[in-house]
Amino acid sequence: MSAAARFATPINASVPPARAGEFRPLALGGLRISPPVVLAPMAGVTNYPFRALCRQFGAGLYVSEMITARGFLNGNRLTGLLASSQAGEHPRSIQIYGSDPLDLGRMVERLVDEGVDHVDINFGCPVRKVTSCGGGSAIPVKPRLVARLVRAMVRSAKHVPVTIKMRKGIDETTSTYLEAGRVAQEEGVSAVGLHARTAAQLYSGEADWDAIADLKSHLAVPVLGNGDIWEAWDALRMMRTTGCDAVIVGRGCLGRPWLFRELADVFLGREPAPPPNLGEISAVMLDHAERLVAFFGPRMGILQMRKWTSWYTKGFPGSAAVRARMMEIESLEDLRGLVGDLDPATPFPLHALRAHRGKGTRVQRVALPHGYLEQRDDDTPPRGPHSAEELEAWESALDAG
Ligand SMILES: Cc1cc2nc3c(=O)[nH]c(=O)nc-3n(C[C@H](O)[C@H](O)[C@H](O)COP(=O)(O)O)c2cc1C
């Protein structure tokens, strides 16, 4: 296919595919990830069914959604299900949310015993309920606390690679990524992931790829760049302009799991085929729904599927009425019937490539505990949820955030 016929937005119209040997596999401890592509941990999204679907299209590392250490250790049924996998998932990768070194160490020990191949810790969650207690994206404000938490995980992980995922900082005046990255490296992480936005930005605006380049120039361990990979070509641009060692793909793959096939193509030096038309997408959507129902059961699987239908059909002209009805499906049969109302020949709309999915564009003033920014040398773990009720409220806030 000539570059002129490429299905890409103008910013990517003439990006060359990878040259042979241009990008190396990502080395994470003993793992080799090729192409150097990571599915971002996303709450309510990167459960086993979606990871397995994405893996069918491409290759790379597919990370679980964040799993609350306290819920996992308490034996919470849903937390256990979300942390679970099925035979054949390799490498198996789990993101942990927690702020108590003892919890983190115990959880990692159990995961390693279960055969997990990689663990990541969430230092980027911007949800108010979390940061106002000093958790999530508030943690990197305190480098000694970062060191304690990472140390606990690395010790328990033995041969299994540990990574962190963080944001640039709290807001434009409180940048934390360089110091937190340096400390994590000293404590033995195998790589550092940077979502190049502040907690105040949430998911709005453009990710600041210069910060990824900056982090890369300060660290010896691999740096994973994150933010605004909407088209496979974006991944090559990010790696070329920042020098990062791998890309983490978030919202771009919501309702577009074939993005991983396109990523595999461009990293192999090939022009990807054009995206699927609405008929082919309907087949993927039904496959996804069946996987969700098999994993979560009929009721919960279908409830989860509702949001996916709007991502799969996003931007398709004339789909508004069907989309609205898809948000009310009660069964696989309902979905099969509605899919029959779509015109299968409709091509994928170009403008949908960069249409934002999953999160809005609001910004926030980050809530922190009183006097928090004046206690940066403190390494006391923040208080997490204790009772079952607190944990439940906490987990639903994480999901909503
Ligand atoms: C629905 C949703 C859920 C998310 N949940 C998590 C999470 O559990 N852990 C985490 O580290 N980041 C989470 N994130 C942030 C993403 O991992 C990623 O950093 C962010 O979306 C930026 O990448 P993008 O610009 O490619 O979307 C979530 C993002 C979305 C859209």
| Shared-domain flag, residues 232 and 347 | no
- Collect all residues with Cβ–Cβ distance below 8 Å to 323 and sequence separation of at least 6: 309, 310, 313
Asked whether residue 265 is domain-assigned, the answer is: yes
The domain total for the chain is 2
**Distance (Å) from CA 203 to ligand 1 centroid:** 8
254 lies in some domain: yes
Is 56 in the same domain as 196?
A: yes
Whether 156 is in the pocket of ligand 1, judged by its Cβ within 6 Å, is no
Q: Are residues 73 and 134 in the same domain?
A: yes
DSSP notation for 265-329: HHHTT-PPPPPP-HHHHHHHHHHHHHHHHHHH-HHHHHHHHHHHHHHHTTT-TT-HHHHHHHTT-
- Report how far residue 141's alpha carbon sits from residue 273's, in angstroms, rounded to the nearest whole number: 44
CATH code of 176's domain: 3.20.20.70
- Is residue 125 annotated as a catalytic residue, yes or no? yes
**Does 2 map to a domain?**
no
Instruction: Specify if 28 maps to a domain.
Output: yes
pLDDT value of position 3: 46
Domain of 109?
14-274+363-386
Residues 119 and 211 in one domain: yes
Q: Do 291 and 144 fall into the same domain?
A: no
**Is 24 within the bounds of a domain?**
yes
pLDDT at 358: 85
10-residue block means of pLDDT along the chain (401 residues)?
Answer: 75 97 98 98 97 96 97 96 96 96 98 98 95 96 98 98 98 98 98 98 96 98 98 98 98 98 98 97 98 98 97 92 95 97 95 90 94 96 77 70 51
Residue 39 phi, psi (nearest 5): -75, 125
Residue 396 is assigned to a structural domain of this protein: no
Report the relative pairing of strands 93-97 and 118-123 from DSSP bridges. parallel
Q: What angle do CA 304, 286, 339 make, to 5 degrees?
A: 105
Say if residue 81 is in the same domain as residue 169.
yes
* CA-closest candidate to residue 180, choices 244, 124, 248: 124
Query: Does residue 398 sit within a domain?
Result: no
CA distance 115 to 113: 5
Q: Does ligand 1 come within 6 angstroms of the Cβ of 193?
A: no
Q: Can you give the CATH number for the domain in which 334 is found? A: 1.10.1200.80
Q: What is the pLDDT of residue 383?
A: 80
Quick one: 201 and 246 in the same domain?
yes
Residues 270 and 283 occupy one common structural domain? no
Residues 122 and 203 in one domain: yes
- Same domain? For 155 and 181 the reply is yes
Ligand 1 pocket, mutate which of 195, 231, 238, 260 (most atoms under 8 A from CB): 195
Q: If you measure from the C-alpha of residue 195 to the centroid of ligand 1, how many angstroms do you get, rounded to a whole number?
A: 8
291: tokens are 């996987």
Residue 231 in contact with ligand 1 by CB distance below 6 A? no
